Chains A and B, each alone.
Chain A
């Protein structure tokens, strides 16, 4: 597959269809690949794709590299299922134009959460990571482990039903179709059944770990305001401390800002250095958006994001008089 991937990128560049390809390359550490920008076909052999490619590359269209879209460079980008949904969302939000991007889908079998790998290794340093189908081999000094991929997958991938891109120009291999069979929100239902106090306890425990590094916001392709509300000083919406009131406001507001815009890629949770289960609230809100407004984020180029849209005759059971 890696060869096909490199060939595809090289060909697009050689044919002048794109000026730049964004993909993943082997990182300097064994568990993390790194984003890479390729602008000529002889660099294409850096490209890789495997279960360590957790970054949602769409972020480069909306964050620092807004330049990419401003210069109207023709860009090719490799996407997993979730990344492609981010891209679709960003197109519906007019952050880039569909015709300016060449979407190359890759078959995804889920990406790993490096913390789960480290836990398996029980604190020993992992020096080598390799994958053969559904089995992963982790090697370090004086140990070698063989683990089913499933046990290392990022939480977001465990409930993902659309692993392959549905919007693409070119796909490496054969894309699998959406299978709506299982219930993606069973974990959330379990959480919903807790009592209010237990929910508070659980969330309080999670969010009080937060050190306000904003890594979660920075990796998120849906978070792209030029000035984020947390950075604003006049007016200052929230205090700057890592005290629970302030962190709670940060997380709640971030959740409201990504309501109907979160594609549940899990990049935020993987980026968090404090191991906070950010997806609980994200997915709870996504579930509500899906059930209440019938919108599946990033699956339809012609649909406005849920929170920018409305229906006049919508259910308003929560409004009292």
Chain B
């Protein structure tokens, strides 16, 4: 793969934990790839599966969803719903033969700057290893 290849990873991060975690990674001067494109949402459960799907089918190479750890959601139970939903989104991706490894859900708290940086790096590497999202070539866009 061409060294300069920078994937596009649309990342939905909840305001109370993961987004703040990303902020902390920044203020702690931890490096994470520019592939990550953060979008702030109020809660991980705000992310309708249609967001993930649209990001994916419209050409994102990966989609990251970040939320508070179970039990820590600012709205108490939001992330439990996210969890169930995400399981089904994965199932549907797999059933259609789409690459489910390109979507990822991680729990990252506001104090976990280093974890955010790790997840961002890991995920970007996975995506780089997988290459461009093949749906771009198939039929979409």
A residues apposed to B, CB below 8 Å: 191-192, 195-201, 203-204, 229, 237-238, 244-245, 248-249, 252-253, 255-256, 259-260, 280-281, 284-285, 288-289, 292-293, 306-310, 312, 314, 316, 318-321
The answer on a CB contact under 8 Å between B77 and A310 is: yes
The answer on a CB contact under 8 Å between B88 and A285 is: yes
Is B96 on the interface with A (CB-CB < 8 A)? yes
Number of interface residues, chain B, beta carbon within 8 A: 38
Q: Which residues of A contact B107 (CB under 8 A)?
A: 319, 321
The answer on a CB contact under 8 Å between B95 and A281 is: yes
In the bound complex, how far is the Cα of B105 from the Cα of A201, in angstroms?
27
Name, among B84, B99, B105, B119, the residue most crowded by chain A CB atoms within 10 Å (CB to CB): B84
Is B42 on the interface with A (CB-CB < 8 A)? no
In the bound complex, how far is the Cα of B92 from the Cα of A284, in angstroms?
8
Q: Which residues of A contact B54 (CB under 8 A)?
A: 237-238, 249
The answer on a CB contact under 8 Å between A200 and B70 is: no
In the bound complex, how far is the Cα of B104 from the Cα of A244, in angstroms?
25
The answer on a CB contact under 8 Å between A320 and B104 is: yes
Which partner residue on chain B sits nearest A237 by CB separation?
Answer: B50
Is B90 on the interface with A (CB-CB < 8 A)? yes
The answer on a CB contact under 8 Å between A256 and B139 is: no
Given A199-B97, A237-B50, A321-B119, decide whether A307 and B88 contact each other with a Cβ distance below 8 A. yes
Which partner residue on chain A sits nearest B80 by CB separation?
Answer: A310
Nearest Cβ in chain A — how far from B5, in angstroms? 22
In the bound complex, how far is the Cα of B84 from the Cα of A259, in angstroms?
10
Q: Which residues of B contact A204 (CB under 8 A)?
A: 139
Is B53 on the interface with A (CB-CB < 8 A)? yes
In the bound complex, how far is the Cα of B81 from the Cα of A260, in angstroms?
13
The answer on a CB contact under 8 Å between A259 and B53 is: no
Which of the residues A195, A253, A310, A319 comes within 8 Å of B53, measured between beta carbons? Answer: A253
The answer on a CB contact under 8 Å between A245 and B87 is: no
The answer on a CB contact under 8 Å between A245 and B141 is: yes
In the bound complex, how far is the Cα of B80 from the Cα of A308, in angstroms?
10
Q: Which residues of B contact A260 (CB under 8 A)?
A: 88
Which of the residues B91, B115, B140 comes within 8 Å of A288, measured between beta carbons? Answer: B91
- Beyond the given pairs A249-B50, A256-B89, A285-B91, 20 more chain A to chain B contacts, judged by CB atoms under 8 angstroms and listed by A's residue number, are A196-B99, A203-B97, A244-B140, A245-B140, A249-B53, A256-B49, A256-B92, A284-B91, A285-B95, A293-B84, A307-B81, A314-B83, A316-B70, A318-B90, A319-B83, A319-B106, A319-B107, A321-B115, A321-B118, A321-B119
In the bound complex, how far is the Cα of B135 from the Cα of A249, in angstroms?
13
In the bound complex, how far is the Cα of B115 from the Cα of A272, in angstroms?
48
Q: Which residues of A contact B95 (CB under 8 A)?
A: 191-192, 199, 203, 280-281, 284-285
Is B46 on the interface with A (CB-CB < 8 A)? no
Q: Which residues of B contact A253 (CB under 8 A)?
A: 49-50, 53
Q: Which residues of A contact B98 (CB under 8 A)?
A: 196, 200
The answer on a CB contact under 8 Å between B139 and A244 is: yes
Is B85 on the interface with A (CB-CB < 8 A)? yes
Closest 7 CB pairs of A and B: A200-B97, A199-B97, A310-B80, A196-B97, A288-B91, A256-B49, A245-B140
5 contacts between A and B (CB under 8 A): A244-B139, A285-B95, A288-B88, A308-B81, A312-B70
In the bound complex, how far is the Cα of B130 from the Cα of A41, in angstroms?
67
Is B57 on the interface with A (CB-CB < 8 A)? yes
Q: Which residues of B contact A285 (CB under 8 A)?
A: 88, 91-92, 95
In the bound complex, how far is the Cα of B106 from the Cα of A198, in angstroms?
30
Is B86 on the interface with A (CB-CB < 8 A)? yes
Given A310-B83, A312-B80, decide whether A256 and B88 contact each other with a Cβ distance below 8 A. yes
Which partner residue on chain A sits nearest B105 by CB separation?
Answer: A319
In the bound complex, how far is the Cα of B93 from the Cα of A44, in angstroms?
48
Nearest Cβ in chain A — how far from B82, in angstroms? 9
Nearest Cβ in chain B — how far from A261, in angstroms? 11
In the bound complex, how far is the Cα of B138 from the Cα of A244, in angstroms?
10
Which partner residue on chain B sits nearest A259 by CB separation?
Answer: B88
Which partner residue on chain A sits nearest B134 by CB separation?
Answer: A200
